[in-house]
Structure 1
Amino acid sequence: MAQEVGPRGRAGGSRWETAREVVVLAATLASFLASVWLLRRPAPAPIRIIPPPTPAPTLTPTPKWIQVYLTGAVQAPGVYTVPQGLRIWMLLEQAGGALPSADLERVNLAAPLMDGMHLHIPRRGEEASASPTPGPLLDLNTASVEELDRLPGIGPRAAQAIVDYRLKHGPFRRVEDLLNVPGIGPATLERIRPWVTVSPAP
């Protein structure tokens, strides 16, 4: 015996079909909107790779050359042309070293060389010269900070102090006036006395 579908059954089926159509329509609409959004989205900015800057070439300063007259108890005495800034012990190595009779205790091997300097290496038992001959004397009233810095026992700070004192108080009248410069004591004065002079006041 066939069963008849009543109005309630047909209405339930109709609502289910309608709901399914709504779901399908919503999914289709969502897919369409997503496609439109993807198409209209601005493209990402391209990535730029910036190479690091090329460093500028380093210029090597040209060394300044000086001449030194070397005599005494050395293997090869004579006039030597050497770069500025060398020390006495470096010059002795270039000259082949000191002789066995050399009295190196009387030589400050760490002292810097100066242009025009006469460096004498004494022998043991040799009398000390009454007046050292270091070469051209450095004028305290005209010397620059760089020139004063090359004196034995004078560093950059003391060299600058000497120049500052000269600018503030005027020219030095005698070498002993260095004792008025802050940082210059009697021991330092005696160490550099053979290397410096004071030009006469005008």
Structure 2
Amino acid sequence: MPMFRKSMIVLLLLALVAGGGALYGMKSTEDATVLDAGAKQAMSSSAREAQEDSITVYVTGAVNQPGVVSVAAGARVADAVNACGGLLPTADAAKINMAQAVKDGQQIRVPEKGASKATKNATATASSSDNGKARASTGSDADAGELININTADEAELDKLPGVGPSTAQKIIEYRETEGQFASPEDIMKVKGIGKAKYEKMKDRITV
């Protein structure tokens, strides 16, 4: 009998130990599941926040890798240009405002150096072989046929457009600096003082 009792006690203790181990294992699994779900939720929230804090812009022109890039909300033109590998040696950085804040969906075009200068030099060379009256006529025709980039032109160039004076030219430049570059020639009608009638007069003379 004493031996039987001892055996029963030993078996009972073993059963208690086994039961406690099983309960501990189940509790650990539940904790791990809760922790895993919490980690996934935290990662998902971080991903959403990162996506909400970025914007997408389209960079073209004289940059190393033109295309669509994502930058942080509140980024500047310089950040978008750097995301495209930086400027090419031929880029005319003086014609673009690197400190301008960019907006989601905006197009940024970086102009190249010497494009307008080369056109003017070619016109001057062609005119130099004619007499004074012919030179004036040739120069006038060349100015009429030269497209003006409304995203990069200065006040003097914009002033050449039909219906645009110094005041309107300044408004065009101010619009570029505050609202960003024009995505298409038609966008110039967003500038105060330029309506459908004025646009029809200048549409064959402008580009972006």
TM interval, short-chain normalised:
0.3 to 0.5
| Larger helix share, 1 or 2 | 2
The structure number with the bigger radius of gyration is: 1
TM-score normalized by the length of structure 1: 0.37
TM-score normalized by the length of structure 2: 0.36
